[in-house]
Amino acid sequence: MIGACTDLDDAGYWSIECWGGATYDSCIRFLNEDPWERLRTFKRLMPKTPLQMLLRGQNLLGYRHYQDEVVERFCYKSAENGIDVFRIFDALNDQRNIETSVRAVKKVGGHAQGTICYTVSPIHTTKLFVDQARRLQDIGVDSLCIKDMAALIKPQAAFDLVKGIKEACGNDLRVHLHVHATTGVTLVSLMKAVEAGVDCVDTAISSMSLGPGHNPTESFIEMLEGTGYTTRVDLEKVMRVKSHFMEMLARYSEFLSKVTGVETKIFKSQIPGGMLSNMESQLKQQGAGDRINDVLDEIPLVRKDTGYVPLVTPSSQIVGTQAVLNVLMGRYKVLTGEFADLMLGYYGAVPGEKNTDVVKMAHEHAKKEPITCRPADLLKPEWDKLRREALALKGCNGTDEDVLTYAMFPQVAPKFFLERHEGPRNLGRNPATGESETKPVEGHQGAITGPITYSVTLSGRQHKVIVTPYQ
Amino acid sequence: MIGACTDLDDAGYWSIECWGGATYDSCIRFLNEDPWERLRTFKRLMPKTPLQMLLRGQNLLGYRHYQDEVVERFCYKSAENGIDVFRIFDALNDQRNIETSVRAVKKVGGHAQGTICYTVSPIHTTKLFVDQARRLQDIGVDSLCIKDMAALIKPQAAFDLVKGIKEACGNDLRVHLHVHATTGVTLVSLMKAVEAGVDCVDTAISSMSLGPGHNPTESFIEMLEGTGYTTRVDLEKVMRVKSHFMEMLARYSEFLSKVTGVETKIFKSQIPGGMLSNMESQLKQQGAGDRINDVLDEIPLVRKDTGYVPLVTPSSQIVGTQAVLNVLMGRYKVLTGEFADLMLGYYGAVPGEKNTDVVKMAHEHAKKEPITCRPADLLKPEWDKLRREALALKGCNGTDEDVLTYAMFPQVAPKFFLERHEGPRNLGRNPATGESETKPVEGHQGAITGPITYSVTLSGRQHKVIVTPYQ
């Protein structure tokens, strides 16, 4: 990414989202790269443009709720290392789960963007989202983001929602729209959002766009010609960024999404693509690959019982897994601990009414009382314990940054701390030879008992690959 | 395609474009399939929905002007064999080149759709296109089509153009919009065209959409929700068509476009992707692959000298080749015969003013007088001669359809007539084995000197493939 930074910084973006989300996890799990060092590098190379991160509120970048001190320290450290704009969301749209991070970000002078996870259900009217926007405004966010992670927002809905929020919250509160491209309609939704007064939209450079990603930046800019709307982005610099990533992509072809077209089925099923493939593999492991349609029918029912939670990490996994269990074992005969927690309020408040019979089952199953308070209020101070545990790990450098890495990824951090001194791993492959760029695999010769390099023509394209005799 | 026909016919489309354009050429050149037989099959399987073809006016489906009798006979035969809607265009937007076919289509009771080739240039204002629409209305077309073959039409331009035509030609004259998806902005343009009152738009089933193709049908339909606009198309049937082609595609992967993203460079260069790759290979053949940027700079100048012709077959090839020659040999030191003909009026009238100096050079080069009449007026009757020549070919069945095949493709027809009795060739390959579906390759066993079956894990997915030792 380094080669694109100057052009990116000069291009005139409102902000560059370059950290948080799943990038932190990828850094330590796959790349042997310190995510904090990465952030400092970005800040050094892109000093002019605000850097942005995606933050899961009280979950930070992990998968459980953290006690407030941990959340605060994470926000302070992120700002200190270079993050300017914090886009903060909660999977259930429960603003109590983002309040602590909003407060911490503001205390340290950052921009706290409150996020509405967009979803479609019988209760998710424009009014419901607008009410959420008002609540976010009340807790003092600097701007709002509508986050449509499943590409469900259609043009008219985008227009109505942006208009509704602007009318309710006043024109001064910035509204951003984040959409994915999966269903093929969302560039049109961006156009309609622009007409409704949206202040900023998310796009990706065209060479890294579309499919499960975002809409192409260049197309968005070109689209506006003659409409009276414009961006501050310099198209020439953007085109250079495009070419840069186009070249780089060839080295990472094995990691690219195979999905390049559109998929509109999700409008009916409301199940994101990633969730679908997850459930398919769960079913296959149980020898029940043929029950996928039963599961697809079950999901809306389970989701209804939860009070129509948005389907996004972690609620999508929780609802999907429970639907699989319902189909295989009988409806709610077996509950996962996570599903019970969701029904009992341990992830926060849900948007609608929960099915009280299912709440009762969860209560019996989990032997835990239902709660209505903010889940993190039940947590005891944990920073000192996390710090002790982290510092006991070989290779831990004793910084708060390392403690946070351990706090969020306790399974992955120990190996990362141990191997960090070896430096980042280059997972790219030479596109001409297919060979790894850091550790070239040695060519094998002689008897065909082990792996051997062959020229393989597959679907008309020639690949050089390493293969093992078929048994 | 046969397996999709019932659903396509039941889906409720205004028309199905399924013939003409390059399909006729592909049938006889690659598939050993009689295009007229294909048309009759479509008509039998899709009796309810009007069938549509793309017709290059006086060029028919070939690459030269034909005398009127040939054009008339082609239109009669096409209607007789099943075409209902004739979308008729001329590369220069010279309506005199489409008048004969419009008249012939109307005489035989078909729907004659007059086409405006959309392009961008300093002279191509909305007014210029609207004037052309009026001229097409004057010659009696049943509807109009705006044909944006290079995906250049931006949302506001689409809105203004549809609005302008509707105002000038009256609301009763249907206006269709045909756009490609290449630049990524045209689904938004379709939305704006809908708002401006367009009657019909072209889309493709999602599994065959995007890249250099069209926008996905399903996304278009879903996009309209809540806008007050709707289609008559049944989404459930469309989804079945999608699945059908998704399955079929795997058998033809070697023929699929490698372009799946968007490309906005064309907005600046105005050079369609196909034309660009064409010129690159011309330059490479001349050992001048590094001069591509000079050629890209030269094209707008050459196009200006021609009076800003739209860049579409055959004008795109003519302008592109001349630009290559100008760069390699010096500006207009060498002229192609086709370029001279274009400058002298032998393709018809151009939209703007030609450079008179270049016209003079063309005159000297080609030793032909400039003309201003309709080019086909200079042609002598040719049907009887074409018929005699066709009937002399072995395998010609003596029908007018065969004479037309010979007339349009004199180089390809003789071989096709000879081999037609062998029946259509299936170019599909079994996606699991990569083997041709008509002539299965026999499996090899024994010494590892030839191909052998291996289990290959490529990008994390296991394939069973046949490979050959690497030299």
pLDDT digits (tens, 9 = 90+) for A144-203: 999 998 999 999 999 999 999 999 999 999 999 999 999 999 999 999 999 999 999 999
In sequence order, which ranges of B170-272 are alpha helices (DSSP H)? 186-196, 217-223, 235-249, 266-269
Which residues, listed in sequence order, are joined to residue A467 by a DSSP beta bridge?
Answer: A452
- B154, B185, B224: best to mutate for the A interface, most A CBs within 10 A: B185
pLDDT digits (tens, 9 = 90+) for A111-149: 999 999 999 999 999 999 999 999 999 999 999 999 998
On whether both A165 and A278 belong to a single domain, the answer is no
Q: Which stretch of A38-52, A272-286, A381-395 has the lowest confidence by average pLDDT?
A: A272-286
Q: Do B188 and A187 touch (CB under 8 A)?
A: yes
Across the range B206-223, mean pLDDT stands at 94
**Sign of the alpha-carbon torsion through A130, A131, A132, A133:** positive
Question: Chain B: nearest CA to A141, how far in angstroms?
Answer: 31
Read off the pLDDT of each residue in B171-191 and give the average, rounded to a whole number. 96
Contact B226 A156 (CB under 8 A): yes
> Is the pLDDT score of A293 beyond 80?
yes
A386 belongs to a structural domain: no
A250 interfacial to chain B (CB closer than 8 Å): no
The arithmetic mean of pLDDT across residues A355-372, rounded, is 96
Most confident listed range (A271-275, A423-427, B136-140) = B136-140
Residue with tokens 């192609």: B336
Q: Which two tokens stand for residue A316?
A: 């999508």
The percentage of residues in chain A with a pLDDT greater than 90, rounded to a whole number, is 77
Query: What residues 429-468 of chain B have any CB closer than 8 A to a CB of chain A?
Result: 429, 431, 434, 448, 453-456, 458-460, 463-465, 467-468
Share the mean pLDDT of chain B: 91
**Per-residue pLDDT at A446:** 36
Q: Would the CB atoms of A458 and B458 count as touching at under 8 Å?
A: yes
What is the dihedral sign for C-alpha A417, A418, A421, A425? Answer: negative
Neighbours of B29 (CB within 10 A): 15
> Minimal Cα distance from A183: which residue of B?
B219
Instruction: Give the mean pLDDT of B204-230.
Output: 95
- What's the domain range around A295? 271-377
User: What is the model's pLDDT at position A259?
Assistant: 73
Final residue of a structural domain among B377, B407, B429: B377
CATH of the domain at B35: 3.20.20.70
Taking the CA of residue A187 and the nearest CA in chain B, the distance in Å comes to 7
Mutate to test the interface with B, among A262, A427, A445, A466 (most CBs of B within 10 A): A262
pLDDT value, residue B460: 54
Measured CA to CA in angstroms, residue B284 lies from A165, B279, B328 at distances of 56, 9, 12
Residue A335: which pLDDT band, with cuts at 50, 70 and 90? very high
Among A residues 256-295, those touching chain B with beta carbons less than 8 Å apart: 260-265, 267
- Chain A residues close to B431, C-beta within 8 Å: 459
One-letter-per-residue 3-state SS of A166-216: HHHHCCCCEEEEEECCCCCCHHHHHHHHHHHCCCEECCECHHHCCCCCCCE
Cα–Cα nearest to A197, from A179, A173, A226: A173
Same domain, A236 and A291: no
For residue A6, tell me if it sits in a domain.
Answer: yes
Total Cβ atoms within 10 A of residue A12: 15
Res A233: pLDDT: 98
On whether any CB of chain A is under 8 Å from the CB of B222, the answer is: yes
Which residue among A183, A261, A458 places its CB closest to the CB of B222?
A: A183
B314: preceding bond cis by omega (within 30 degrees): yes
Residue B236 counted as domain residue: yes
- For B238, the token pair is 């469309």
B314 touches chain A (CB under 8 A): no
**Are residue B293 and residue B235 in the same domain, yes or no?**
no
Cβ-based contacts of B201 with chain A (< 8 Å) = none
Beta bridge partner(s), residue B19 = B53
At A11, list the tokens.
């291009």
Token output for A118: 């967009």
Query: Which residue intervals of B82-230 are DSSP H helices?
Result: 96-107, 126-138, 155-169, 186-196, 217-223
Amino acid (1-letter code) at residue A280: E
A460 and B262 within 8 Å at the Cβ level: the answer is no
| Residue B109 touches partner A, C-beta closer than 8 Å | no
What is the pLDDT at residue B432? 82
Q: What is the pLDDT of residue A273?
A: 65
- The tokens describing B226, both together, are 């809540």
Measured in degrees and rounded to the nearest 5, phi and psi for residue A179 equal: -130, 150
Copy the structure tokens of residue B445: 């066993």
Q: Angle between the B96-107 and B68-81 helix axes, to the nearest 10 degrees?
A: 40
Residue A444 has pLDDT above 90, yes or no: no
- Minimum mean pLDDT among A222-226, A305-309, A436-440, B136-140: which range? A436-440
CA distance A167 to chain B (A): 20
Last residue of one domain, picked from the residues A358, A377, A396: A377
In a domain, A319, yes or no: yes
Q: Are residues B20 and B123 in the same domain?
A: yes
Query: Do the beta carbons of residue B396 and residue B5 sit within 8 Å?
Result: no
CB A323, CB A346: distance < 8 Å: no
Would you call B260 and A210 a contact, using CB atoms and an 8 Å cutoff?
yes
**A453 found inside a domain:** no
Contact B222 A154 (CB under 8 A): yes
pLDDT digits (tens, 9 = 90+) for B354-366: 999 999 999 999 9
pLDDT band at B93 (very low <50, low <70, confident <90, very high): very high
**Which of A321-325, B174-178, B456-460 is the most confident on average?**
B174-178
Note the pTM of the prediction, 2 decimals.
Answer: 0.88
The per-residue pLDDT for B444 is: 36
Of B188, B265, B434, the CB nearest to A459: B434
Residue where the block lists tokens 């030479």: A430
Residue closest to B149 by CA, chosen among B321, B314, B350: B314
Please check whether residue A218 touches B, CB under 8 A. Answer: yes
Tell me, yes or no, whether A140 and A207 share the same domain: yes
Return the pLDDT at A410: 97
> CA separation (Å) from B309 to B26, B313, B372?
27, 11, 16
- Do residues A185 and A321 both lie within one domain? no
What digits encode the pLDDT tens for the residues B260-272? 788 888 887 777 6
Section B390-417 average pLDDT? 98
Structural element, H or E, at residue B144: strand B143-148
Is the pLDDT at A460 greater than 90? The verdict is no
Q: State which of A191, A220, A255 marks the end of a domain.
A: A255
Question: pLDDT tens for residues A206-230?
Answer: 999 998 899 999 999 999 999 999 9
Q: Do A328 and A361 lie in a common domain?
A: yes
Is residue A203 domain-resident? Answer: yes
Q: How confident is the model at residue B465 (pLDDT cuts 50, 70, 90)?
A: low
Give the amino acid at B344. Answer: L
**Of A82-86, A209-213, A332-336, B360-364, the least confident:** A209-213
Residue A468 corresponds to which tokens in the numbers above? 């093992």
Total domain count, chain A? 2
Among the listed residues A188, A123, A189, A187, the one whose alpha carbon sits nearest the alpha carbon of residue A161:
A189
Place of tokens 């370029």: B339
**Nearest chain A residue to B191, by CA:** A188
pLDDT at residue A313, as a whole number: 80
Q: At what angle do helices B400-408 and B68-81 cross, to 10 degrees?
A: 120
Q: Does A209 lie at the interface with B, CB-CB under 8 angstroms?
A: yes
Average pLDDT over residues B223-239: 97
Burial B131-164 (b: 16+ CB within 10 A, else e): ebbebbbeeebbbbbbbbbbbbbbbbbbbbbbbb
| pLDDT tens column, B10-31 | 999 999 999 998 899 999 999 9
A173: region left, alpha or beta (phi > 0 left; psi from -120 to 50 alpha): beta
Flag if A216 and B155 touch (Cβ within 8 Å).
Answer: no
- Give contacts of B219 with chain A, Cβ < 8 Å: 183-185, 262, 264
Residues A293 and A250 in one domain: no
Three-class DSSP labels, chain A: CHHHHHHHHHCCCCCEEEEECCHHHHHHHHHCCCHHHHHHHHHHHCCCCCEEEEECHHHCCCCCCCCHHHHHHHHHHHHHHCCCEEEECCCCCCCHHHHHHHHHHHHCCCEEEEEEECCCCCCCCHHHHHHHHHHHHHCCCCEEEEEECCCCCCHHHHHHHHHHHHHHHCCCCEEEEEECCCCCCHHHHHHHHHHHCCCEECCECHHHCCCCCCCEHHHHHHHCCCCCCCCCCCHHHHHHHHHHHHHHHHHHHHHCCCCCCCCCCHHHHCCCHHHHHHHHHHHHHCCCHHHHHHHHHHHHHHHHHCCCCCCCCCHHHHHHHHHHHHHHHCCCCCCCHHHHHHHHCCCCCCCCCCCHHHHHHHHHHHCCCCCCCCHHHHCCCCHHHHHHHHHCCCCCCCCHHHHHHHHHCCCCHHHHHHHHHHCCCCCCECCCCCCECCCCCCCCCCCCCCCEEEEEEECCEEEEEEEEECC
Instruction: Please state the ipTM of this predicted complex.
Output: 0.86
Cα(B35)–Cα(B39) distance, integer angstroms: 6
Task: Please tell me whether residues B227 and B288 are part of one structural domain.
Answer: no
Residues of B in Cβ contact (< 8 Å) with A206: 184, 261-264
Query: Do the domain assignments include residue A372?
Result: yes
Residue A169 is assigned to a structural domain of this protein: yes
User: Regarding predicted confidence, which is higher, A252 or A401?
Assistant: A401
CATH of the domain at B291: 1.10.472.90
More confident residue, B447 or A379: A379
B451 versus B406: which is more confidently predicted? B406
CB of B183 within 8 Å of any CB in chain A?
A: yes
pLDDT above 90 for A283? no
Q: Are residues A287 and A149 in the same domain?
A: no
For residues A86 and A146, state if they share a domain. Answer: yes
Q: Are residues B286 and B193 in the same domain?
A: no
